Amino acid sequence: MWLVCSNRCGAGIFRSLQAEVDVDAAGAYESHRFLQPGFICVGCGAPALDLGQVPAEMAADAEEDVAPALLDVLCPVCETAVPVLEVEMECPNCGAYLEPVS
């Protein structure tokens, strides 16, 4: 779970709204459970948003985007990142000679 204030006020403190206590017929305490995340920002009272699931999904996407074997070489002239195979080539941006990766 990663809570943020929907007003982005930056207080960083949140209060749970939904803590439900179950009791049995005799009124004895049975369990304490949290329902769906329901939190408010203590700083400004706005509803808090749970971003806890988002970074994990973004990280999964990023891993899929990583190219498996190619190495990027920075052009010494213009610092363009060039994926280099094991052959010599020219920078596609400025035409500088790039040494092959061995």
If binding means CB under 5 A, how many residues of this protein chain bind Zn ion? 16
State how far the Cα of 8 lies from the Cα of 51, in Å rounded to an integer: 13
The answer to whether residue 13 forms part of the interface with Zn ion (CB under 5 A) is no
User: Is the CA virtual torsion 41, 42, 46, 47 positive or negative?
Assistant: positive
Binder of Zn ion out of 3, 14, 39, 91 (CB under 5 A): 91
Rounded-to-integer distance, Cα 47 and Cα 42, Å: 9
User: What residues between 34 and 53 interact with Zn ion by CB under 5 A?
Assistant: 41, 43-44, 46
Query: 3 or 75, CB closer to Zn ion?
Result: 75
Q: Which residues bind Zn ion (CB under 5 A)?
A: 5, 7, 9, 11, 41, 43-44, 46, 75, 77-78, 80, 91, 93-94, 96
